[in-house]
Structure 1
C-alpha cells in the first residue's frame, strides 16, 4: 500500500512538472518567435542604417566640418576667389577623403569644382544656388548635374560677422549609389526608397525610379502606394505596412533622415522573413516535443522501476506465506498427537509500531519478511513456523523439551539481532523478543500460547531482545 501511495505521489509530481515544463516551453517558444521577429527587423535595419551613415551622413558631417574651417572661410571671404588656391584646396580634399568637393562663392557668383571646372552662377540658369541661398536650413541635399546625375550636399558658409559667403559641398554620382544599392539588394534582399516631404523619390535601389533631368518620380505614381488608404498616403505613414508589389508581399520599415528632411523606406520580401520566423518556430516546437518526450520516458521508467521493485516483494511474500491461526490449530493437534509433546515459541519483532509509524508499512513488511526468512532457514525440518499476528510469529518444536527450546530460542534471538539492516534504512537495528511454553499432554493451543505470550511480555518488560519461558503448572 505504501508503495502505491509513493507511486501515486510521484506520478502527480511528474504530471505537475510536465505541465510546468509545457507552459514554460510555450512561453519560451512565443518569446523566441517574438525575438526572432525583432531580430529579423533589426537585421534588416542594421545594414540600411550602416549604408545611410556611410553614404549620406558621413559626407554630410565631413562637409559640415570642413565648411567651418578657417581655410575655406578665408578663401570665400575674399572679394574675388583665388581660383588656383580654390582648385588646390578642393583637389587636396578630394584625394584625402575620396569625395568630389565644390565651393560656390556669393561674392563673385562662381562655382569651383574639384575637377578644375568653373560654373557661373547666373540667376535663371543655375536654379539650385538661388533656391537654397534663401533656404532656412544650413544644410540641404539635392539632385543635379543631369548629364551625370549627382546627389549634392550643400553647406552654407558664413564669416565671423554672420555674413553669407556661399556654399561648400560634396557631390556623389547616382551611379555609385545604384551599384551600392544593388549589392545590398543582392545580399539582404530589400529595396530602398529615399523620399522627401513632397513624396518625390530622391534615391532608390530601383534604377527606373531614379530622377532624370529634374523629372522626379512621386510615391503617388507607384501602383502599390496608390492602393493604400488616403489617410496613410497623406501622412506617408508606411512603417510596418504590408504591401503587394508584382504579386509579392513586402513589409515596409521606415527610417527618418531628419538631416535632409527625407524618409527612408525599406521594402523587405515577406518570404524571407517568414522563412526565418518559421525556422525559429520549428526549432521551438521540436524542443518542446523533445522535452515532453523525455519527461514521458522518465515517467515510463519510473513506473517500470516501481513494477520491478514491487514484483520481487510479491514473489518473496507469496513463497514465504506462513500458515495463519486457523491452519495452525490443525497443525498443533497433528504434531501433539504424533509426537506427544512440543514446545511453543512466540516471537515478536521489537519496536515494530515505531518503525511503521516512522518509515511506513512497507518497511515493516520488509523487516518481517527478513526475520521470517531467517527463522525458516534456521529451524529443523520437523519444526513449523507460522504467522501469529501482524508482528508476531509462532514456532512449534515437536519432541523438544523446554530447556532445548530455550537454547534454540537464544540462538535465534542472537541471529536476528545480527541480521544486516535494510539497504534503504541502515540505521534500523532489527531485534526480536521470544516467549516459550511447553506441553507434554493434550491441551488447547490457546492455553499453551497464553503462557508463551506471558513469557514474551515479560521479555518486553525486561528490555526486549530477550528470551523468557513460562511453563504450565
Structure 2
C-alpha cells in the first residue's frame, strides 16, 4: 500500500510539474499570437500620420506603402490599410487590391457592422488571420480599416511546436462556431470552407442541452481515442472562445482528474486576471491621455500639462519666470479671413515660440489666442528680456493664412516667483500685467510681481 501510494504520488507530482510548466507558455502563446498584434494595431491606428494619409482625398500611394513597409520592418508583422477615399487596400508587401462591392465582401460587410475591432479569416488562396480596426478622423468620419494579417501557416507551426512539447490541443472558435485557429492542421480552414465545432466527433458525443449554460469547461471527453479534459476560455477582444484540450493517460485519469481540473482552473483564473489587468491599464491609459494630452491644434502642452511642469519646477526649489502672451486683434483675423486662417497663424506663432526658447523652458497654449511660458532658473529681469525679444521677433515675422501674409503683434504680461505659490496666483499677476500692456497700446511688455 505504501508503494502504491508512493507511486501514485510520484505520478501526480510529475503530472503537476508538467502542468505547472505548461501554464506560463499557454498564457504567453495567447498574448504573443493574438493579443499583442491587437494591441500594436490599436496603437498604430491612432497615429496622426496614418489618419492624415487616409483622409487625404488624393491618396499618396508611395507614402502609404512607405509607412506600411516601415512599420512591417519595425514590428515584424504584415500590415494593411483599406482606404474609404480611394476604395483600395494597400498591403505592406507592396501590393494593392481594389475594394469593389459584391467582389470584396469583407470591406462592405464590416463597414456596416457596429464593431470597431473585428478578427476574421480571409484571403482564401492563402488563408490569413486578420485584425480589422475601423479608423475615424477627429470629426468621427469613417476613413477605412487598418490592421494586421498573419498567415495561418505560422499559427500551425507554432501550435504544432507547443503541442509537441506540452501535449495540449488548441481550438479557437468564432461567434458562429467556425473553427478559426487550431493546433490540428486538419481543422484549419481550406479555401472558403470552415470546419465547425459541431463537426468534431467528441463534440457530437456530448448532450449540450444538459450542460450548465452550455459550457464545456471541465468536461472529460474522448478525442482521437484519448481521454482529454476541456478548459473553455472567452477571448473577449475578438468575441472568440478558446478550448484547451488536455490529454489524460488512461491509467492516470482517475488519480489525476481532480488535480488537473485545479491546474486548468488556475489557468483560466490567470487568464481572467490578465484580461482584468489589461482593461484596467487600458482605461488608466485613456484617463492619462485625457488629463495630460497636448493641444490638438498647436501640438503644444495644454493647460493641464503646463500646471504639471510648473509643479515639477517648484518641487526642485528653483525660481520661475512666467509670461502670458495674447495675440493682438486676433478676433479680427478670424472674422476677416476665417477660422482656418486663424488656426494657421496660431500654428506659426507656436512654432516660432518653441524655436526661440531654451532647453527646459516650457511653452504651452493657455487658451484661445493666449500662450504661456515657464522659464525656470530665470530672474524677473531675465524673464522681461525674454518677453521683449519674443515681442520683437513676433512683430517682425510674417504669418501666412494660406492665401495671404499678415503682420501680427502680441501683448506680453510678465510675472515671477521664487517661492511655492499656486500657479493661479502667479498667472493672476501676469494677467494684470498683460491687460496693462493692452491698455497702454498693445505690442508692449509689462511686468507685475507678487508683493
TM-score, scaled to structure 1:
0.50
Distance change (3 Å), C-alpha of 1:235 and 1:203: farther
Q: For 2:114 and 2:89, how far apart are their aligned partners in 1?
A: 21
Matched length:
254
Other-structure match for 2:165? 187
Structure 1 residue 68 corresponds to structure 2 residue 38: no
Match of 1:215 in 2: 193
Query: Where do residues 164-313 of structure 1 align in structure 2 (5 Å cutoff)?
Result: 164-231=142-209, 236-271=214-249, 274=252
d(CA) in 2 for partners of 1:116, 1:124: 24
TM-fit CA distance, 1:233? 7.5
CA contact (8 A) 2:208 2:214 kept: no
- SS of 1:183's equivalent in the other structure is helix
Instruction: Specify whether residues 38 and 233 from structure 1 end up closer, same or farther in structure 2 by C-alpha distance, changes over 3 A only.
Output: same
SS of residue paired to 1:146: coil
CA contact (8 A) 1:225 1:233 kept: no
Distance in 2 between the 1:48 and 1:142 partners? 22
Find the counterpart in structure 2 of residue 138 from structure 1: 116
Residues 1:233 and 1:218: Cα distance change in structure 2 (over 3 Å): farther
Structure 1 residues 58, 83: CA separation in 2 closer, same or farther (over 3 Å shift)? same
Q: For each residue in 1:225-276, what CA deviation from the matched residue of structure 2 results, as whole angstroms up to 9, or x when unmatched?
A: 0110122679551111100022210011122100000011111111299399
Distance 1:236 1:214, change over 3 A: farther
CA-based RMSD: 3.1
1:221, 1:173 → 2: CA distance?
Answer: 24
**1:80 is matched with which residue: 58, 61, 68?**
58
Q: Show the counterpart of 1:101.
A: 79
- 1:81 Cα deviation after fit: 1.4
Deviation at 1:147, TM superposition (A): 1.4
Contact residue 192 and residue 265 of structure 1 kept, 8 A: yes
Counterpart CA distance in 2 for 1:268 and 1:187 is: 13
The answer to whether the 8 A contact 1:75-1:86 is kept is yes
CA contact (8 A) 2:172 2:182 kept: yes
Q: Does structure 2 conserve the Cα–Cα contact (< 8 Å) formed by 1:40 and 1:276?
A: no
Q: Which fold has the larger relative contact order, with Cα–Cα distance below 8 Å and residues 6 or more apart in sequence? A: 1
Greater C-alpha Rg: 1
2:31, 2:14 → 1: CA distance?
25
2:134 paired with 1:156: yes
Question: Is the 8 Å Cα contact of residues 44 and 268 (structure 1) preserved in structure 2?
Answer: no
**Alpha-carbon distance in structure 2 between the residues aligned to 1:275 and 1:65:** 45
What secondary structure does 1:94 align onto?
helix
- TM-score of the superposed pair, with normalisation by structure 2: 0.52
Q: Which runs of 5+ in 1 are unaligned?
A: 1-25, 282-473
1:349 aligned residue: none
Q: Distance in 2 between matches of 1:267 and 1:128?
A: 32
Tell me what 2:29 maps to: 51
What SS does structure 1 have at the residue aligned with 2:125?
Answer: helix
Q: Give, in whole Å, the separation in 2 of the partners of 1:81 and 1:130.
A: 20
Cα gap change, 1:233 to 1:89, in 2 (>3 Å) = farther
- Secondary structure, aligned partner of 1:51: helix
Matches within 5 A, 1:316-465: none
Q: Deviations over 1:100-144 (max 9, x none)?
A: 001000111100001111100001000111111111111111111
Corresponding position of 2:307 = none
TM superposition shift of 1:44: 3.9
Paired with 2:175 and 2:148, the residues of 1 have a C-alpha distance of 22
Structure 2 unaligned residues grouped into runs of 5+: 260-451
